[in-house]
Structure 1
Amino acid sequence: MKFLAITLIVHRPDPVTGVRKSTHERFREVLGNAVLAEELGFDGFGVGERHERPFISSSPPVVLGHIAALTRSIRLFTAVTTLSLLDPVRAYEDYATLDHLSGGRLELIIGKGNGTAQRELFHVTPEDQWDRNAESYEVFRRLWRQDKVTARTRFRPELTDAEVWPRPYQQPVRVWHGSATSKQSVDLAARYGDPLFSANVTHPVEPYAELIRHYRERWEHYGHDPADIAIGAGTAGLYVARTSQQARETYRPVFESNLAFQRATGLPVVFETLEDFVERSSALIGSPQEVVEKVHRYHERFGHTVLHLHADADGLTDTEHRRSLELFQSEVAPVLRHGIPDPPFAWGPVRPESPVTGEPARV
């Protein structure tokens, strides 16, 4: 199993202390968390894309470009790239450039995005968002694979023998499809034989497990080998401590503050108590053994081989957050790596194979 640390770069007051860092401090915190993730042995670091309050993650290529300069080996993910809002040509240019600068460490998780404010900012409607997402991905995919592209498009100017530079480093970049609530994203992933990344954050396991079952069905419908399926899944929170009691006592103020925020802002409340949150959500809060057992329970439902964890402290102190990540990597991750397989592809730059040697070709 592989492990990612992911941030959406939420910029709001700390859930417990009420202190809000400056924008500059928040970005520096993200960079520090990325360096820490590589230091602790995480396999990837992800940056989300949002174009509305309270997020400041509107430019993942810029943030990931800086992280690429500060790190050496960790793979760099988007979480997610909102292709329904973007011009696929411009998105390709940004990410092909970033892929070269990072030495082929880029992986994309794409999705339509969510939120009324960012849809309105880009003049995208609920009725056309899925069609935009599919069209943008199809153009993006072809740009990454073809030197010249002709495309009859609805949502951007048509392309005729278009050449877009730079040409890619990875051939092609791996694209995961973010899945939260809709079968459209699942079907798009299955159609192209791409890996799926389940959000697995807001609700109990059942709706996410149902979408993953649908993905597997559609994967076979489109004629792909089931052995090639790769699935990732998110988590709703993380705090690992020596004992379950200690983990719950430390995390309780975080949960209660987040619950108050949900109620104050009119967000739907799914888990009314910390005990229910720990039991029925995907949050990993407990002792190392308790966390291992919970990941295995989810794996039985999902068959996932990649797991994302929160890169941010999210109301924990910096010391508590770091100790939790260290305990996860020292006592949880090794057990899960041993007991759950890796994705069915190499965890490194995607390069075409030489027809003679079978080794990655030089480009």
Structure 2
Amino acid sequence: LQNFTSTPRPLDGTPPFVWHGSIRSPEIAEQAAYYGDGFFHNHIFWNIEHTRKMVRLYRQRYEHYGHGAREEAIVGLGGQVFIGETEAAAKKTFRPYFDNAPVYGHGPSMEDFTQMTPLTVGTVDQVIERYLGYADEVGDYQRQLFLVDHAGLPESAVLEQIEILGTEVVPVLRREFEARRPANVPSDPPRGGLAAVEPATKHNHAATDK
């Protein structure tokens, strides 16, 4: 950005960590790796093979630019869930919204879509099991975002889903991800982004790119 001032300014003078979000563009993975920033893959409309390919590219290029080992790169994934007391109950409640959703309604069936993408319609245990598996596919990662206010769900249903995620799903995922995380893999993004990189190192990165 040229001649642009962001507001509000960082409270302590340290710039926030920057994420580069992508759905299908490898150029974004390259850009995130070049600057040593985080790479967030949307994931919600893609199969795991595509997501694995994008994250692998980012990790390889992150290491190439000298920011650290590829497993130390900062990764986030998107996801979608609808949780019920039983799988049958969750599907019965969510299906009318899915079938008429502006984005994916009248397209693949809910069963096909849940197979092809991270959308998981089922119980707390099914959501936990599936999302723990993504670290096996892309490596240990730092952020998992969930889309819950989609498909025209009423506010009451959205708030209920947030409550279930916050009390029954996220604590387990956090505990299990931390238990399996290797010692050299950060659990959180570093503060400051490029501010933590020596000027000479930044110059060498630019020279390498040219």
| Stretches (4+) displaced over 4 A | 261-264, 345-353
Q: Tell whether the 8 Å contact from 1:292 to 1:332 is kept in structure 2 after alignment.
A: yes
1:136-181 Cα deviation digits (max 9, x unpaired): xxxxxxxxxxxxxxxxxxxxxxxxxxxxxxxxx4422211111221
**Is it true that 1:241 corresponds to 2:80 in the alignment?**
no
Change in 2 beyond 3 A, CA 1:88/1:247: farther
Task: Specify the code of the residue in structure 2 equivalent to 1:220.
Answer: E
Aligned counterpart, 1:322:
159
Aligned match of 2:3 in 59, 80, 89? 89
Looking at both structures, which has the greater relative contact order when contacts are Cα pairs under 8 Å and sequence separation is at least 6? 2
* Percentage of identical aligned residues: 27
> How far apart, in 1, do the equivalents of 2:191 and 2:116 lie?
37
Distance verdict in 2 for CA 1:315–1:223, change over 3 Å: same
Provide closer, same or farther for how the CA distance between residues 238 and 263 of structure 1 changes in structure 2, counting only shifts above 3 A: closer
Q: Is the 8 A contact 2:18 2:38 kept in 1?
A: yes
Q: Which of 87, 95, 116 is equivalent to 1:280?
A: 116
* Mapping 1:144-293, distance limit 5 Å: 169-226=12-69, 227-235=71-79, 237-258=80-101, 262=104, 269=107, 272-293=108-129
Gapped regions of structure 2 (runs ≥ 5): 197-210
Matches within 5 A, 1:110-149: none
Could you list the per-position Cα deviations for residues 80-136 of structure 1 after superposition, in whole angstroms to 9, with x for gaps in the alignment? xxxxxxx4432xx13xx2244xx4xxxxxxxxxxxxxxxxxxxxxxxxxxxxxxxxx
Measure, in 2, the Cα distance between the counterparts of 1:285 and 1:200. Answer: 16
Q: TM-score, normalised by structure 1?
A: 0.47
Does residue 145 of structure 2 align to residue 308 of structure 1? yes
Secondary structure at the aligned position of 1:203 is classed as coil
Does the aligned pair in 2 maintain the 1:248–1:286 contact within 8 Å?
A: yes
Alignment CA distance shift 1:346-1:213 (3 Å)? closer
SS in structure 2 opposite 1:239? strand
Is contact 1:203-1:281 (8 Å) kept?
Answer: yes
Q: Which residue of 2 aligns with 1:10?
A: none
Determine if contact 1:199/1:234 at 8 Å carries over to the other structure. Answer: yes
2:131 aligned with 1:295: yes
TM-score by length of structure 2 reads 0.78
- Measure the CA separation in 1 of the matches of 2:57 and 2:104: 30
Structure 1, unpaired ranges of 5+: 1-86, 104-168, 354-363
Instruction: Give the 3 Å change call, closer, same or farther, for CA 311–279 of structure 1 in structure 2.
Output: closer
> How far apart, CA to CA, are the structure 2 residues paired with 1:216 and 1:349?
19
Aligned-residue Cα RMSD (Å) equals 2.7
Checking the alignment, whether the CA contact within 8 Å between 1:239 and 1:321 is kept in structure 2 is: no
Change (3 A) 1:247 1:280: same
Q: What is the alpha-carbon distance in structure 2 between the residues aligned to residue 326 and residue 230 of structure 1? A: 27
Larger Rg: 1
Q: 1:240, 1:325 within 8 Å by CA — same for their partners in 2?
A: no
Please tell me whether the aligned partners of residues 170 and 350 of structure 1 are also in contact (alpha carbons under 8 angstroms): no
2:128 touches 2:169 (CA, 8 Å); kept in 1?
A: yes
Cα distance between partner residues in 2 of 1:316 and 1:88 = 40
Map of 1:98 onto structure 2: 8
Q: Which has the higher helix share?
A: 2
Q: State the distance in 1 between where 2:73 and 2:99 align.
A: 38
Displacement of 1:315 after TM fit? 1.6
Q: Distance in 1 between matches of 2:150 and 2:26?
A: 32
Confirm or deny: 8 A CA contact 2:17 2:190 kept in the other structure: no
Q: Secondary structure in 1 aligned to 2:45?
A: coil
